[in-house]
Structure 1
Amino acid sequence: MTDAANPCPVTGVFARLARDRGGNTLAMIAAAIAPLMAMVGGAVDMSRSYLAQARLQQACDAGVLAARKRMGSQAAVTGEVPQATGEIGQRFFNVNFRDGAYGSTERRFTMSLEDDFGISGAASIKLPTTIMRLFGFEELPIAVACSAQINFSNTDVMMVLDTTGSMAQTNPGDSASRISVLRSTVRDFYAQLAAASGPGTRIRYGFVPYSTNVNVGSLLDDSWVVNQWTYQSRTLATTLTSTGTTTYNANWQTISGTVTSEPYQTYPATYRAPTSETGSASYSCDTPAPASTATTTTTLISTTTEPFAGPPAGTRTIRHYRQIIDGVSYSISRSGTTCRITKSTYAALTREYDQITDPVNHTSSQWLYQPVTLDVTNWRNDAAGCMEERDTYPITNYEDVDLSRALDLDIDLVPTATDPRTQWRPMYPGIVYARAMRWNGTGSFSKAPVTTTEDYVNPGAGGFAACPARARKLGTMTAAQVDSYLNTLTPAGNTYHDIGMIWGGRLLSPSGLFAEENGDVDPGRPTARHMIFLTDGVTDALDLSYGTYGVEPLDARRWDGTQPQSLNQTVENRFAVACAEVKKRNITVWIVGFGTSLNPVMRSCAGEGRYFEANNADELTATFATIVKNLSKLRIER
């Protein structure tokens, strides 16, 4: 029976259901499941893509860094990229992002060489999706770019270059002399650094050519040089005059007969290398000529005398001779590297001539050899620029050097105008004599004065007081300026390594003579300081030399021959002390032996990995390229 007041009782059930919220949650979840899956899937796939992109970027960076390092800096000079550059870059990329990493496909990596010799790279992959493929996104393309360049911080480079006589020699296998190879190598070194330096980077160069001494006068203030100095010299004691004779032949006349000359033979001259640092190469004709068959008969025809007006007045004696030559003779001459033998045939060649004897005055000078004190205030005009060192002492304990006495080894000490001990002294080779050494090699050194008519050895005239090309303090230079400077280098003199190290340190130090110029230009970019020390020989000091410590056996400032150490050992020990002082200034020392082996002192000075031995031009070029690599820093650019 139906209730008239409630005609549809089911309606109440649906109303209660409509008011019940418990079923709505299921419906909402069902409606949101698809967007949620898309969000989660996107997050998962994007996370994978970020990981893959980061790894791909690392691989790209590794590839261009390896390629740029392999290419080095020589490409800036030769214009040629080493063949293995691309291969090595690809190899490093492949190792850092392996094929199929993260499920990727279509891995690609390309590199290109830029105008500034940087290497740019581009890498790409396709990364398959996992969940997002349900929504139509099957893969994600990923691409990165990278670039590597060799760059320098602000850098000061001091070239300390051996320009002794042996640099004129040519190493086996080379076609140019050592000095020519050095010039070419330094030019290439400059080009490599110039190519690698970035905008805003300051690279300065300085040069210290050294041999028996260094030429630094043009770099010194007037107040750094003494006003007077004492030299091992001589003064005229008296003039001696005596009378004698002189004889000479004159008035040749051909009377009869003939002589004919013709080429007989040619052959290459024998090359003779220098026997010392101060010597020079020569050629000789060692193959003798055939024996001569010519005979010469000389007959006195007459003797006459006549008054000679002089001075001195006296009698002239004239002897008239007849000479007859018959037969064949041979003579040898040399033109360059070719020897020539000439054959001369004489057919009763008859000549007459006068032999004349005249009175003559012979004048000789008697010299007092002794130390002489001179005014040297005009040294800039009178001297070449090489300097004698300031005060020092003979060191017996090199583990405990007193720099308050060895002022030459205190590389930062600025001279005091009122203290001659701290000042330098100009060299005057023309007035210095090695008392009492004779030119024939006899004699001995005498600290005591000597009065004599003999001419003792003048080191300047004997080639024992070489003053090399002017040193150049640090400054920016163009390629043309570098080239012009290198052309001033001339081989001469003996090998004194210590004075090269001392002045190289003085000109490079940020806290010494040129502190205002050598300090860091930017506190945020400290200057890197490097000394490149090149030599082609072992220490070769000579007691006869007039050098930076005067005539050593006579001036006895650091050595006089009475110490247990030789002069060479003294030079090397002081080199070691100077090197240690240089490195205290945070200067990196590189030492290169060119055509020679480096001794333990030099190897210890540079330290492991910073000394090199190059036997020829190619090895020297490779050595300097290695130094450039070590001076530079590889940089990733983005």
Structure 2
Amino acid sequence: MLQGKTRASGPRGSLGGALRRLRGNRRGSAIAMMAAGLIPAIAALGSAIDAGRIYIVKSQLQTGVDAAALAGARAFSVSGTASNSRESQVAAYFSGNFPDTYMGVTNLKVAPAFTVIKDINTTTVVATATLPMSFMRLFGFMQQPVRATARAAINPHPLEVMMVLDNTGSLKANLPRDSNGVVKTRITALKDAAKSFNEILFQGGDTRKDLAMGYVMYDITVNVGKLLTDWRSSSVRQMFGFNDVVANTYGGTWPSNKLGWKGCVFGDDTVKDLTATLTYRDPNAWDIDRTLPGEGAHPPVKPYFIPPMYVPQMPGNAVATGAKANPSSAYYSVANVEPNNNLYKLHPSYYDQMLNLDFYGNQFANNPYREAFYDAYIDLNDNAAKADNDVIVRADNGGFYDPSSNPWNFTTRTGTQFRVRYDRIPQFNNWKDATEYTVNPLGGSVDDGARNKTEFPSPNWQCPEAATKVDYGRSRSFYDDVIDRQNAAIYPANGTLHHAGLLWGYRLLVRDDVFKRTPPRGQEEPKRALVFMTDGETALGTSQNGYDDRTWTFYGNYADSPISSSRGGLIGQSERRFAKTCAALQAEDNAPKVYIVALTTTDRNTLAMFEQCAPGHVYQTSDTATLKAAFDDIASELVDLHLVQ
């Protein structure tokens, strides 16, 4: 019985033991377990990879429609198939950000829509695509649809913009090579950026009835004189033979009369050493606010005039004894420096009248030539025995003029009167016929100071082209032409005075009671902006071969210390006038918003001055791309271009 029970129980014990042994034996079971566990792991990994691909495609698709919507909004006014149309711009900007085969997508579709709702121009771009799956195909997920939408809006409103553009010679310098390997000069990049600015303001079209623009080009002066005299003839003082009836009668007006006035002006009457308090208007400082020359107690301005002048070959710190008394010396030869020679000939038939006729009977008070000739040649008068080469002689008898005996005082207009002998000028072979002095529109198109110069000599040397007053009804092509043909680097030259450009940009913009414009009827008060562009700090070439009386500025001759108690204080006082002018602008009703684009400008004091004038709106740019981006950003803000979805 015992054996039978054992047999009976033997097989059951044998099976249970086998099972127990099987459970306890772990050899080879890990492979099966891993295989079973890899299935969900692979699914999770594949899902993560494909989810990442979906995210990347979705993000890039959104970038594409955002760029396309903004581009379409900028070109809203132009429809059709032309390259500048809103449809073409949407397609170009979308494909530039999302190529057709990006990440292997298929069925890519882009649908723009352009609508006007309550006077708001709206561009909507919807893009859809199908993204094939990679790992998730193993689990039956073959593809994933992706969609992105962007909506950009522009809210048109009356807009008045004054562009103040630096035209100094430094703009001929090259900028760094751009992303396409192209090298552009600063002025070329400025022209391109300014025209892109116009394109955004005009929303790609050529007309916009509620937009008014103006331009002021500047270097050491500005050309606003004809705008002033069109308003009030007495706003600019008359200079004999330059901008008066004599000039008009005997020579005609500029440009046919190359010795006539082109239209630039010197700064307003002012006082030296203005106080530092920006909101304080120093008495008799007429060069820091909105009032205009000839208005009320504001004195008229002088027409900008540069007399015949040159830089001597003999260095100013090494003038030999007796050199100035010797007409053959190197003192009367011309140095090879920039600028060197602005010696222009007077009219061959009228030079004696220009120099010696007291036409107005006021002791030559408004004769632009006599003081310059006296200062240039009085040192020849060293000895009565050698008077035959003297340029300055007695007015009464033509004899020896003794500068040590009661000489003429140009301030009090008293003393011994003199006559200028034009026929005795030493080394007259250095003198040249005056040029027309229209700015060369190609100035600065190449980085070469010997090419595309605005040739002188001229009484209008360094005078930019005429300012364009702010007005409605002009086409975009009109403004593009101003940028291309009237805005250029001017050289040879010797300085940059930001105050001149800002002051007159401010006045031409806010004084719409004088410089009249008519906004469209039934619209709100216009938004106003002043966009100021420069490539450097306030600067002057103050010493020409050791002579500081050969430098002319907005304020007069540098050697006369016209706005500061010392010659070296001119730069600081000019910048103080810039700051005070900007403070006056900021205090205006409906004050214009100021934007400053500083190209390659690194001077800390200059940048601080700019930031004080345009808080939060100073664009430091260094190359073609950042310059264009700055102008585009300003234009987008002015037209209120923004994404709403």
Q: How does the TM-score come out when normalised to structure 1?
A: 0.51
Q: Quote how far apart the aligned CAs of 1:548 are.
A: 2.0
Q: Quote how far apart the aligned CAs of 1:484 are.
A: 2.2
Task: Give 3-state SS (helix, strand or coil) of 2:203's partner.
Answer: helix
Structure 1 residues 80-105: Cα deviation after superposition (integer angstroms, max 9, x where no partner): 33449999xxxxxxxxxxxxxxxxxx
Q: Does 1:509 align with 2:436?
A: no
Task: Give 3-state SS (helix, strand or coil) of 1:412's partner.
Answer: coil
Q: Does 1:452 align with 2:459?
A: no
Task: Give 3-state SS (helix, strand or coil) of 1:589's partner.
Answer: strand
* 1:156 and 1:205 in contact (8 A); partners too: yes
Structure 1 residues 290-331: Cα deviation after superposition (integer angstroms, max 9, x where no partner): xxxxxxxxxxxxxxxxxxxxxxxxxxxxxxxxxxxxxxxxxx
Which residue of the other structure, out of 451, 468, 487, is the alignment partner of 1:489?
487
Structure 1 residues 371-423: Cα deviation after superposition (integer angstroms, max 9, x where no partner): xx988454754112111122101134120643541112122335249x6x521
Map residues 157-556 of structure 1 onto 2, 5 A cutoff: 157-173=161-177, 174-195=182-203, 201-221=209-229, 222-228=232-238, 376-377=244-245, 378=247, 380-381=253-254, 382-399=260-277, 401-413=280-292, 415-416=294-295, 422-431=299-308, 433=309, 438-442=312-316, 451-453=378-380, 461=457, 465-475=461-471, 476-486=473-483, 487-492=485-490, 493=493, 494-510=495-511, 513-514=514-515, 516-517=516-517, 522=521, 524-543=523-542, 544-554=550-560, 556=561
What are the ranges of 5 or more consecutive residues in structure 1 without an aligned counterpart? 1-61, 88-108, 124-144, 231-372
Distance 2:168 2:206 in 1: 36
Q: Quote how far apart the aligned CAs of 1:471 are.
A: 1.1
Distance 1:615 1:64 in 2: 27
Cα distance change on mapping 1:535 and 1:72 into 2, 3 Å: farther
Q: Quote how far apart the aligned CAs of 1:488 are.
A: 2.3
Distance 2:276 2:500 in 1: 17
* 1:533 and 1:589 in contact (8 A); partners too: yes
Partner residue in 2 for 1:588: 593
Structure 1 residues 228-254: Cα deviation after superposition (integer angstroms, max 9, x where no partner): 459xxxxxxxxxxxxxxxxxxxxxxxx
Task: Give 3-state SS (helix, strand or coil) of 1:411's partner.
Answer: coil
Q: Does 1:154 align with 2:163?
A: no
Distance 2:281 2:318 in 1: 32
Task: Give 3-state SS (helix, strand or coil) of 1:426's partner.
Answer: coil
Structure 1 residues 415-473: Cα deviation after superposition (integer angstroms, max 9, x where no partner): 249x6x52121122234x58xx7454406999995712478999975999411121111
Cα distance change on mapping 1:201 and 1:484 into 2, 3 Å: closer
Cα distance change on mapping 1:218 and 1:463 into 2, 3 Å: closer
Q: Quote how far apart the aligned CAs of 1:214 are.
A: 0.9
Cα distance change on mapping 1:624 and 1:387 into 2, 3 Å: same
Taking only aligned residues, the RMSD between alpha carbons, in angstroms, comes to 4.4
Cα distance change on mapping 1:549 and 1:172 into 2, 3 Å: same
* 1:593 and 1:612 in contact (8 A); partners too: yes
Report the count of equivalent residues: 381
Distance 1:440 1:512 in 2: 53
Q: Quote how far apart the aligned CAs of 1:179 are.
A: 1.2
Distance 1:170 1:384 in 2: 30
Task: Give 3-state SS (helix, strand or coil) of 1:593's partner.
Answer: strand
Greater fraction helix: 2
Distance 1:69 1:149 in 2: 9
Q: Does 1:80 align with 2:104?
A: no
Task: Give 3-state SS (helix, strand or coil) of 1:156's partner.
Answer: strand
Distance 1:595 1:548 in 2: 24
Structure 1 residues 108-128: Cα deviation after superposition (integer angstroms, max 9, x where no partner): x995243998424799xxxxx
Letter in 2 for 1:402: R
Letter in 1 for 2:556: G
* 1:171 and 1:616 in contact (8 A); partners too: yes
* 1:412 and 1:513 in contact (8 A); partners too: no
Q: Higher Cα Rg: structure 1 or 2?
A: 1
Q: Quote how far apart the aligned CAs of 1:601 are.
A: 0.5
Q: Quote how far apart the aligned CAs of 1:559 are.
A: 2.6
Distance 2:614 2:64 in 1: 32
Partner residue in 2 for 1:579: 582
Structure 1 residues 180-234: Cα deviation after superposition (integer angstroms, max 9, x where no partner): 121122112111111178998510111111101111122122524444459xxxx
Cα distance change on mapping 1:199 and 1:595 into 2, 3 Å: closer
Structure 1 residues 349-371: Cα deviation after superposition (integer angstroms, max 9, x where no partner): xxxxxxxxxxxxxxxxxxxxxxx
Quote the sequence identity (%): 22
Partner residue in 2 for 1:282: none
* 1:549 and 1:558 in contact (8 A); partners too: yes
Partner residue in 2 for 1:248: none
Letter in 2 for 1:383: W
Task: Give 3-state SS (helix, strand or coil) of 2:162's partner.
Answer: strand
* 1:394 and 1:558 in contact (8 A); partners too: yes
Partner residue in 2 for 1:604: 612
Which residue of the other structure, out of 561, 565, 568, is the alignment partner of 2:571?
568
Partner residue in 1 for 2:336: none
Q: How does the TM-score come out when normalised to structure 2?
A: 0.51
Task: Give 3-state SS (helix, strand or coil) of 1:628's partner.
Answer: helix
